[in-house]
Structure 1
Amino acid sequence: MKLHMAIAAAAAASVLLLAAASTAGAVTYKVNNEATSTAGGRRFDQEYGVDYAKQVLADASSFTWKIFNQPSPADRNSVDAVVLAVRDVGGIASTSGNTITLGAGYVAAITGNDFKTQVTGVLYHEVVHVWQWGLQDYGAHPWVYEGIADFVRLKAGYTAAGWVQPGQGNSWEDSYSVTARFFDYCDSVKPGFVADLNAKLKNGYNVDYFVQITGKTVQQLWQDYKAKYGN
């Protein structure tokens, strides 16, 4: 009897452990350096490293889920793995599906003492593209999606040199840091604004989302934003 109870208890413990492992391993993070023969590829290995990059991908994913108010995997984009590939390509970085490409040339050219911080900021931005909804409308409204990605980067504390200051910019459609700063203002008007906007984007973009979330049109919000900072 005691033996049967012990076996049953062990089996139950194994099930719990397997369930925990399954939950913890729901998303895997992979890093492939395909540019080891280049200066940027070698620098990535020496000054950033595969293990560190994997941890950044995991941290950035968790932070994005928090910003998007997605505590459960059922709330998120269905992604089993986030992949970072360091490649000998032009540009800084890009994302296609679940794969982020980091340009080896960009890595090689980074100056300053905050090398890791600069790369991490880029990765946070790109990780958002893996998880955000509505990318089927990216081509028509890229500023919305880039603004959300930079908003997450902003809230994570990874702003970059050259970013505009709050209130700057000619239009909320200027994209990247201009739109991110504007979304930060919208988030102060209606806490959770970006989470609500991202959720609505699952069905495609509509400018009326601003009214639905905040009660104001995007034009009204932009005018209020500019007025707040004396612009």
Structure 2
Amino acid sequence: MAKNLLLILLVASLLPAIYAVKYIVTNNVQNTPGGIFFDQQIGVDFTIQTMGAANQFIWRVFKQRTPDEIKYVPVVNVYISEFPGPALAYTNGDNINISASSLKDFCMPLEKAKFKFSGLMYHEMTHLFQWSGNRTAPGGLTEGTADYVMVRSNFYDKDTYTKPGTGNRWDEGYGVTERFLEYCDSLRLGFTADLNKMMRYEYSDNYFVQLLGKTVDQLWGEYKAMYGNMH
């Protein structure tokens, strides 16, 4: 037993070295107002530091301790650029794309710029390191899980964030789903981490039954009833 524990501790201690991730940040729009804002208020060094901290935090939250559990991404790129549409950020492959002009508005007031940017990075980094059942999981669940990590990091506005009990569907995404995952955690310690591990290869609603003994619709109904079926 002692030898097995020692082996587990040794493997865990080696994981950061084995799974060294390279972080690259590129400002493609340095001469635009948004690009200038990024360089002056956030900066490449701070972004890389935040990416590393978020990466390690995500692995801890998901309780990914062994090579079989970790989703390893060797290189993560962040691009500050401009793209059509109102989106602040999106991921594609192992890349995080951030709209320079939207970032400037998002990060106001200036004294909260790095705090808000950190929350954004914890959310987007989660998308790269979470399991999604080979993209078979509901989009709202993956977004809610990314918010779950962000909330656990405390880089979010507690006064304006989604309140528990609100929403119309468990997989509505973002704050609605995040609060539901918190509720599921209260029923089983480590539920969200366990669910993430189960989604390595595929997703099934039945995972809720396996982990909590009830269907996801039953759980959602009980969660909503606990808060008076708020909308």
- Residue 9 of structure 1 is matched in structure 2 by none
> Who wins on radius of gyration, i.e. which is larger?
1
C-alpha distance in 2 between matches for 1:159 and 1:26: 27
State the partner residue of 2:9.
none
Which of 174, 177, 197 is the aligned partner of 1:176?
Answer: 174
**Cα distance in 1 for residues equivalent to 2:122 and 2:190:** 19
- Partner Cα distance (1:88, 1:107) in 2: 10
Give the SS at the match of 1:197. helix
Instruction: Give SS of 1:75's match.
Output: coil
CA distance in 1, matches of 2:68, 2:195: 18
1:126-205 pair list within 5 angstroms: 126-134=124-132, 136-137=134-135, 141-160=138-157, 162-205=160-203
Say yes or no: does 1:54 pair with 2:40: no
Counterpart of 2:35, as a letter, is: G
**What's the C-alpha RMSD, in Å, of the aligned pairs?**
2.2
Does the Cα contact within 8 Å between 2:28 and 2:80 map onto a contact in 1? yes
Shift of 1:33: 0.9
Aligned residues of 2:115 and 2:155 also touching (Cα < 8 A): yes
Mapping 1:8-23, distance limit 5 Å: 23=17
**Equivalent-residue separation in structure 1 for 2:67 and 2:98 (angstroms):** 26
The match for 1:94 is 90
C-alpha distance in structure 2 between counterparts of 1:109 and 1:135, whole Å? 34
Q: Report if aligned partners of 1:135, 1:145 keep a CA contact under 8 Å in 2.
A: no
**Unaligned segments of structure 1, at least 5 residues:** 1-19
Match of 2:3 in 1: none
Distance of 1:98 and 1:81 partners within structure 2:
7
Could you tell me the TM-score, scaled by structure 2's length? 0.84
1:12 paired residue number: none
Deviating more after overlay: 81-90 vs 181-190: 81-90
Aligned-residue offset at 1:159: 2.6
**1:156-175 per-position Cα deviation (integer Å, ceiling 9, x unaligned):** 11234753201111111211
Compute the displacement of 1:209 (Å).
0.6
Structure-1 separation of matches of 2:25 and 2:93: 15
Which stretches in structure 2 are left out of the alignment for 5+ residues?
1-13
Moved over 6 A (4+): none
Which one-letter code corresponds to 2:65 in the other structure?
P
Tell me the equivalent position of 2:4. none
1:168 partner amino acid? T
Q: Distance in 2 between matches of 1:117 and 1:34?
A: 23
Give the whole-Å Cα distance in 2 for the aligned partners of 1:53 and 1:73: 26
Residues 124-183 of structure 1 deviation map (CA, whole Å, 9 limit, x = unaligned): 100001101126325x62111111111111111123475320111111121111001100
Kindly indicate whether the alpha-carbon contact (under 8 Å) linking 1:89 and 1:105 is maintained by their aligned counterparts in 2: no
Match of 1:8 in 2: none
**More helix per residue:** 1
Give the superposition deviation at 1:27.
Answer: 1.0
- Match of 2:200, SS state, is helix
Distance (whole Å) between structure 1 residues aligned to residue 99 and residue 127 of structure 2: 17
Task: List per-residue Cα deviations over 1:21-70 (Å, max 9, x = no partner).
Answer: x8177111111111101111111111111111001101111111011111
Counterparts of 1:158 and 1:41, CA distance in 2: 23
Residue identity over aligned pairs, in percent, reads 38
Deviation per CA, 1:184-207: give whole Å up to 9, x if none: 111111111111111111121110
**Paired residues for 1:26-65 under 5 Å:** 26-65=20-59
Please give the per-residue CA displacement for 1:58-115, whole angstroms capped at 9, x wherever unaligned.
1111111011111244421231122111111242001112111111011222322311
